[in-house]
Amino acid sequence: MAPRMWTRIALALSLAALAGCAPGTAHFVHPDVDLGFVKRCAVVPFQNLSPDRFAAARLQPVFLAELLQTEALSVVDTGETLAAYNRLGLGPDTPLTPEQVVALGEALGVQAIFTGAVEDYGQRRSGGDQTNAVTATFSMLETETGTMVWNAQVARDGSSFWRKLFGGDSASQYEVSRRAVRDALESLF
Amino acid sequence: MRGTTRSRLPSPAGAAAAALALLACLGAGRPAAAVGAEPGGPGSTCILLFTAGAGQGSGITDLADLRALGEQELAAALARSGDAALPADAALALQRRFRVRDGRLLPPAFLAGLDSAGADRLLVAHLYVGRGRIELAGRTLSTGGGLIEAAATETCSLAGAAWRIDFAIACRRFVATLAAAVRPRAGAPVAPLAVFPLGFDATAAQIATQALLEAALADTARAVLDPAVLGGALAAAGLDPRRPDRSGLDLLAGSFAAGEATLVEMITRDPDQIVRASDDDAPASSAVSWETVRSFSLHLRTVDTRTGLVTAAHGVDQDNSPARGWFGNTASNAPRQLIAAAMNRLWEASRQPGKVR
């Protein structure tokens, strides 16, 4: 077999190994909705399904920062959003019904609402090492009918091919969170 | 016990007596009236001193005495620099009347009361008493507009019999640093609210707020509004001082001419905060001593007070392990240093162009 063939095989195996290591993102974008009408949005309190009691509180500001980074939308501040939540008698850990989404949209003057649920957050054992990990689901609901127009589930951890090969600590929880949120938002913008 | 000179010292009686004699020699035992400065007269400074944390093993058994001593030392230091202090009794009466307990919220009525009493400046300081040291942190602000003039932090050792002298010297250095740090400020004021803690107690939040103010004052020539004044105004109007809504933002814009509000959250990354199956009834926020701090994240967002929209958001992570430098050197992991380092990084990031760092 020619040396070039061996090189190709090695490259293919490396790529396959990398792909196997890479955590994934699954997403859905409503095919019949034009997102161009969304100019102003709000990020409501994330649901926390993980054992870490502050996981949602930590992931939400990261999501907000990354959402602003896209420069695609204006975001209403948390204080105003929470005040509207209180006025409408909504709980932070309760999934919103379409009617509640419409009411929230009217109260805040926004065209879309982002929700999130943190499913896994913290350290996880990967091989023989501890690594930071995040699994979360994010959604965007349009406030005219309360329909979900985007949903992404993302799982990321702090390990990498190079870290596994040469050793080294896991990426910080903050970095893992940023990557997870970026990967999710890339499927929208 | 307030205002008395009796105290229980952590040292043998003989050493304590020697320390007191030395203190008397320094002339720092009571407020000294400076030439041209009349206590309680127009243009005086009101001193608010709070004990914000008391670590175990400091040896100080009577914090009220320590606070009274601190007030005396600060008044003496002010007098030496030519500033008169509002008499402690008058300040205490106003504190009681307007229920100013910890300096985190300063109601507008309290500031108006100070103005009526002739105090146009306020010195708010917190004493953090630890195992081997006392930290003194605070700021001066104008009672009229709620603008901060300067902020500073000083430390003194509790080791040895003469700790009172060290404390007196630290108070003098603190006042001198505050006086030297005053600089002309102009432009639309920065409006930072008190740091909102999640998983930390009020003391850690107070330290973080102080770090935020020091970072803001060091970095910008713009005027900086006092978070306690802003919080007091919001609370007096029946609004949430931690997360202002539309009405709160309107108040900040209308009463303080603040174009933007700066909100910072400090969230623990303590693994002990993880809820175990048997721990569902644990308190939502655990107290962390000010002498140790768990790893944490700081998140800053800037909100336009006219539109209510977030204009910028930034975040940093801070581990509580000491940073290792070259040649085996390690940076301190004392909470104040860690929080200040993280806050400086956060503030620096927020000043860079672009929305997110």
Candidates B1, B158, B165, B162; CA nearest to B68 is: B1
CA distance B339 to B267: 12
Q: Give B-chain residues touching A76 at CB under 8 angstroms.
A: 308-310
User: B160 versus B322: which is more confidently predicted?
Assistant: B160
CA–CA distance, B144 with B114 (Å, rounded to integer): 9
Contact by Cβ (8 Å): A48, B275:
no
Domain ranges of chain A: 23-186
Q: How far is B33 from chain A (nearest CA, A)?
A: 47
Taking an 8 Å cut-off on Cβ atoms, the answer to whether B315 and A62 are in contact is yes
Torsion of CA B10, B12, B15, B16, to 10 degrees: 50
| pLDDT for the residue A111 | 95
Query: What are the residues facing B48 on neighbouring strands?
Result: B124
pLDDT tens digit string along B283-315? 444 444 556 677 889 999 999 999 999 999 999
Yes or no: say if B69 and B7 are a contact pair by the CB < 8 Å rule. yes
Alpha carbon distances (Å) from A126 to A15, A55, A108, A157, A177: 19, 20, 43, 9, 17
Tokens representing B73 are: 């030392």
Query: Per CATH, the architecture of A23-186 is what?
Result: 3-Layer(aba) Sandwich (3.40)
Instruction: Name the pairing type of β-strands B119-129 and B44-54.
Output: parallel
Do A79 and B243 lie within an 8 Å CB cutoff? yes
pLDDT band of B59, cuts 50, 70, 90: low
Percent of chain A having pLDDT more than 70?
A: 81
How does residue B83 score in pLDDT terms, banded at 50, 70 and 90?
confident
Candidates A40, A62, A173; nearest CB to B269: A173
CB contact, 8 Å: B273 with chain A? yes
The answer to whether the Cβ–Cβ distance between A54 and B265 falls below 8 Å is no
Nearest to B267 among A58, A69, A80 (CB): A58
pLDDT value at residue B283:
42
Residues paired with A1 in a beta bridge? none
Cα(B91)–Cα(B104) distance, rounded to whole angstroms? 16
CB distance B315–A57 less than 8 Å?
A: no
Higher pLDDT, B325 or A37: A37
Output the pLDDT for position A43: 96
Q: Determine the Cα angle at A56 with ends A22 and A145, to 5°.
A: 95
Cβ neighbours around B8 below 10 Å, total: 11
Show the tokens assigned to B280: 């569902």
What is the least distance, in Å, from the CA of B324 to any CA of chain A? Answer: 15
Enter the ipTM. Answer: 0.81
Q: Give me the pLDDT at residue B291, please.
A: 61
In contact, B42 and B279? CB cutoff 8 Å: no
Res B234 pLDDT > 50? yes
Query: Which residues in chain B have Cβ-Cβ distances shorter than 8 Å to A174?
Result: 297, 315-317
Residues of chain B neighbouring A57 (CB-CB closer than 8 A): 198, 265, 267
pLDDT attached to residue B58: 59
The answer to whether the CB atoms of A79 and B299 lie below 8 A apart is no
Q: Is the pLDDT of residue B21 over 60?
A: no
Among B251, B297, B305, B320, the residue to mutate for chain A (most A Cβ within 10 A): B297
The pLDDT of residue B13 is 46
Q: Which residues of B touch A64 (CB under 8 A)?
A: 301, 310, 313
Structure confidence at residue B3 (pLDDT) = 35
Residue B30 pLDDT > 70:
no
Q: Does the beta carbon of A74 lie under 8 angstroms from any beta carbon of chain B?
A: yes
Q: Mean pLDDT across the stretch A43-47?
A: 94
Q: At B335, phi and psi to the nearest 5? A: -50, -45
pLDDT at residue number A26:
83
CB–CB contact A61 B301 (8 Å)? yes
* Mean pLDDT across B248-261: 94
What's the gap between Cα B120 and its chain centre? Answer: 19
Contacts of B355 in chain A (CB under 8 A): 65, 68-69, 71
Single-letter residue type at B301: R
- Kindly report the nearest CA distance between residue A13 and chain B, in angstroms: 36
Q: Identify whether the C-beta of residue B244 lies closer than 8 Å to the C-beta of residue B291.
A: no
pLDDT at B357: 39
pLDDT tens-digit profile of B63-80? Answer: 788 888 899 999 999 998
Q: What is the mean pLDDT of residues B248-276?
A: 84
The 8-class DSSP code of residue A153 comes to: E
Partner-chain contact A51 B275, CB within 8 Å: yes
Whole-angstrom distance, CA of residue A147 vs CA of residue A33: 10
As beta bridge partners, residue B262 has B192, B302
Residue B29 has pLDDT above 60, yes or no: no
In this predicted structure, which of A11-20, B215-224, B309-318 has the lowest mean pLDDT?
A11-20
Rounded distance between C-alpha atoms, residue B314 and residue B357, angstroms: 6
Q: Is A83 part of the contact surface with chain B (CB cutoff 8 Å)?
A: yes
Ordered by start, the domain boundaries in chain B are 12-182, 184-357
- What does pLDDT average to over chain B? 79
- Looking at residue A64, what is its pLDDT? 94
Alpha helices per DSSP H over chain B: 13-26, 63-80, 88-97, 108-116, 163-181, 202-219, 227-236, 246-256, 335-351
Structure tokens at B79: 């007098």
Q: Which residues of A touch B269 (CB under 8 A)?
A: 54, 58, 173
CB contact under 8 A, A174 and B315: yes
Please check whether residue B174 is in contact with residue B166, taking contact to mean a CB–CB distance below 8 angstroms. Answer: no
Q: Which residue has the tokens 């010195």?
A: B123
Cβ contacts (< 8 Å) between B276 and chain A: which residues?
51
- Do B12-182 and B184-357 have matching folds? yes
Query: B191 or B284: which carries more pLDDT confidence?
Result: B191
| B contacts of A61 (beta carbons < 8 Å) | 265, 297, 299, 301, 313, 315
Ranges A11-15, B37-41, B332-336: which has the least confidence: B37-41
In this complex, is the C-beta atom of A189 within 8 Å of any C-beta atom belonging to chain B?
no
CB contact under 8 A, B313 and A58: no
Partners of residue A172 in chain B, C-beta under 8 Å: 317, 319
Residue A176: closest C-alpha in chain B:
B317
Q: How many CB atoms neighbour CB B27 within 10 A? A: 11
* Chain A residues near residue B310 by CB distance under 8 angstroms: 64, 68, 75-77
Q: Which of B199, B212, B329 is nearest to B270 (CA)?
A: B199
Contact of A77 with chain B, judged by CB distance below 8 Å, is answered with yes
Give per-residue pLDDT as tens, B112-166.
999 889 899 999 999 988 777 888 999 999 998 899 999 999 988 877 778 888 8
DSSP-derived letter for residue A172 is: P
Q: List Cβ neighbours of B58 (8 Å cut-off, separation of 6 or more).
A: B10, B129, B130, B131, B132, B134, B158
Task: Match domain B184-357 to its CATH number in 3.30.499.10, 3.30.420.40, 3.40.50.10610, 3.30.70.2190.
Answer: 3.40.50.10610
Which chain A residues touch B314 with a CB distance below 8 Å?
A: 65
In chain B, what is the straight-line distance between the N-terminal and C-terminal CA atoms, in Å? 50
**pTM for the complete prediction?**
0.82
Asked if B198 is an interface residue toward chain A (Cβ–Cβ < 8 A), one would say yes
Q: What percent of chain A has pLDDT over 90?
A: 50
Residue A162 has pLDDT above 70, yes or no: no
Across A74-94, average pLDDT: 90
CA B65, CA B98: separation in Å to the nearest integer?
23
Chain A with chain B: Cβ pairs closer than 8 A: 95
Assess if CATH 1.10.3470 describes domain B12-182. Answer: no
A68 vs B contacts (CB less than 8 Å): 310, 312-313, 355-356
What pairing do the DSSP bridges indicate for beta strands B191-192 and B148-157?
A: unpaired
Nearest to A54 among B198, B314, B319 (CB): B198
pLDDT at B26 over 70: no
